[in-house]
Chain A
Amino acid sequence: MARNKYSVLLPTYNERENLPFIIWLLVKHFSESGIDYEVIIIDDGSPDGTLQVAEELQRIYGKDKIVLRPRGQKLGLGTAYVHGIKHATGNFIIIMDADMSHHPKFIPELIKKQETENLDIVTGTRYSGDGGVFGWDLKRKCISRVANFITQMLLRPGVSDLTGSFRLYRKEVLQKLIDACVSKGYVFQMEMIVRARQFNYTIGEVPISFVDRVYGESKLGGQEIVDFLKGILYLFATT
C-alpha cells in the first residue's frame, strides 16, 4: 500500500492574525510525527489581506507544503471544500478552522484512530472523554449542551459532536458527502455526519480541547440559533 498523504483544507476569511500561527503549528506537528502532508489555503478574498500573509508563509515553508487556492469572493463553506478537494493530492482530507480553536496536535490522534480501526471518518469531539472547551461562559455552555441534547434526542447520530468541524475524511467519502449535502454554514457540518451514517460509513471520535478564538470575535447570536433549529428540523424530517 502506498504511503498515506493528508491534505488539510483551510478555508479562511479575515484570518490575517491567526494564519501564521496555525500554519506554524501545523508544520510543527506534522513534521514532528513524520506524516506526509500539504495545507491548502482557500481564501475567499479577505479584505484584511490574508492572502498576502499566506503567500509569505508559502515562501517560508515551500510550495509543496503550502498550497494557495484563493477565490475572488466570499462563497460558502461547502464550495470551499469542493474547490479544495479538486486540488488536493492527498488520499485523506482534514478539515479544520483556521482560528486556532482546533489545535493541530490532535491530528496525529485522528490519524491513529483512523488507521487502527480502518475508519472512513474520524471526528473531534468536545463533548466526551477528555474533550472540552476554553473561553466559554456558563450561558454559552448551557446553550451548547441543550443544543447537543436536542440533536442527540432527535437525530440519534451515534456521534457526540455534530457541530464541530475538526475532522478527517477519506477523500472519496468527503467528495460523496459534499455532493449529497444541501445545507449551508455549520448545519452543513451536522448534515455531513448524519448523511455519513445514512450511507453506512464508519465514524470514530477523538476527544479534543476547543480553545475559543484568541484573535477576533467568536460568533453565537440569535441568527445562529435560528439556523441551528431550522437545520435540526430539516434533518429530523428528511433523514
Chain B
Amino acid sequence: MAFPKLFQWLAGIAVFLSVWSALFFRLVPVKLSQPWHDVISVLPLYLLISFACYSLAVVGYRVATFNDCVVASEELKKQVEEAKEDLKRKGYKYANEFS
C-alpha cells in the first residue's frame, strides 16, 4: 500500500526545504552569484504566491462556469406534475396531499 498523502507532502516539503536551505545558508560548496542567491532567497515566498494565484484562478473559473441546470429543473417540475396525475389515476390514496 502506498504512503498516505500526508507523508508524501511532508517528504516533498522536506526535500525542497533541505535543498533550499543548503543553498540559502551556503552549506554546500556551490558558487552562486549574488543575483542567483537573491532569487533563491525569495523562492519559497514566490512559489506560495504563485500557488495562491493559481488556486484563485482555478476556483474562480470553475465557479463562473458552474452549469445552472435550469432545463433539468423545468423538466423535473413537469414530470412531478405528470406523476401527480398518473398516481391519482392509479388510486394513490395520499393524492389529496399533493400541493
Q: Is the interface of A mostly helix, strand, loop or mixed?
A: helix
Q: Across the interface, do B73 and A103 meet the contact criterion of CB distance under 8 Å?
A: no
Give the distance in Å from the alpha carbon of A144 to the alpha carbon of B93 in the complex: 40
Chain A residues, CB < 8 A from B62: 127, 145, 148-149
26 contacts between A and B (CB under 8 A): A16-B97, A17-B97, A20-B94, A21-B80, A24-B83, A24-B87, A25-B79, A25-B83, A56-B92, A56-B94, A57-B92, A103-B76, A127-B62, A131-B67, A132-B67, A132-B69, A132-B72, A141-B66, A149-B59, A154-B9, A198-B2, A211-B72, A236-B4, A236-B5, A237-B5, A239-B5
Q: Is the interface of B mostly helix, strand, loop or mixed?
A: helix
- Report which of B58, B90, B94, B97 forms a contact with A149, defined as CB distance below 8 A: B58
Interface footprint category on B? 20 to 34
Interface residues of A in 22-49 (CB under 8 A from B): 24-25, 28
Give the distance in Å from the alpha carbon of A135 to the alpha carbon of B63 in the complex: 14
Chain A residues, CB < 8 A from B94: 20, 52-53, 56
- Report which of B66, B73, B77, B97 forms a contact with A145, defined as CB distance below 8 A: B66
Known contacts A60-B92, A141-B63, A155-B5: A214-B80 contact under CB 8 Å: yes
Q: Across the interface, do B69 and A133 meet the contact criterion of CB distance under 8 Å?
A: yes
Residue of A at shortest CB range from B58? A149
Give the distance in Å from the alpha carbon of A138 to the alpha carbon of B94 in the complex: 37
- Report which of B2, B9, B58, B76 forms a contact with A211, defined as CB distance below 8 A: B76
Residues of B within 8 A of A (CB): 1-2, 4-6, 9, 55, 58-59, 62-63, 66-70, 72-73, 76-77, 79-80, 83, 86-87, 90-94, 97
Q: Across the interface, do A209 and B69 meet the contact criterion of CB distance under 8 Å?
A: yes
Chain A residues, CB < 8 A from B68: 132-134
Chain A residues, CB < 8 A from B86: 24
Give the distance in Å from the alpha carbon of A128 to the alpha carbon of B62 in the complex: 10
Bits for A86-122, please: 1 = Cβ < 8 Å to B, else 0: 0000000000000010010000000000000000000
Q: Across the interface, do B93 and A210 meet the contact criterion of CB distance under 8 Å?
A: no
Chain A residues, CB < 8 A from B67: 130-133, 209
Interface residues of A in 207-239 (CB under 8 A from B): 209-211, 214, 235-239
Q: Across the interface, do B63 and A60 meet the contact criterion of CB distance under 8 Å?
A: no
Give the distance in Å from the alpha carbon of A239 to the alpha carbon of B42 in the complex: 33
State how many angstroms separate the Cβ of B43 from the closest Cβ of chain A: 21
State how many angstroms separate the Cβ of A158 from the closest Cβ of chain B: 13
Chain A residues, CB < 8 A from B70: 134
Q: Across the interface, do B73 and A211 meet the contact criterion of CB distance under 8 Å?
A: yes
State how many angstroms separate the Cβ of A194 from the closest Cβ of chain B: 9
Give me 6 other A-B pairs in contact (C-beta within 8 A), A130-B67, A135-B73 excluded: A103-B76, A133-B66, A141-B63, A145-B59, A209-B69, A236-B4
Bits for A53-81, please: 1 = Cβ < 8 Å to B, else 0: 10011001000000000000000000000
State how many angstroms separate the Cβ of B10 from the closest Cβ of chain A: 10
Q: Across the interface, do B76 and A214 meet the contact criterion of CB distance under 8 Å?
A: yes
Chain B residues, CB < 8 A from A130: 67
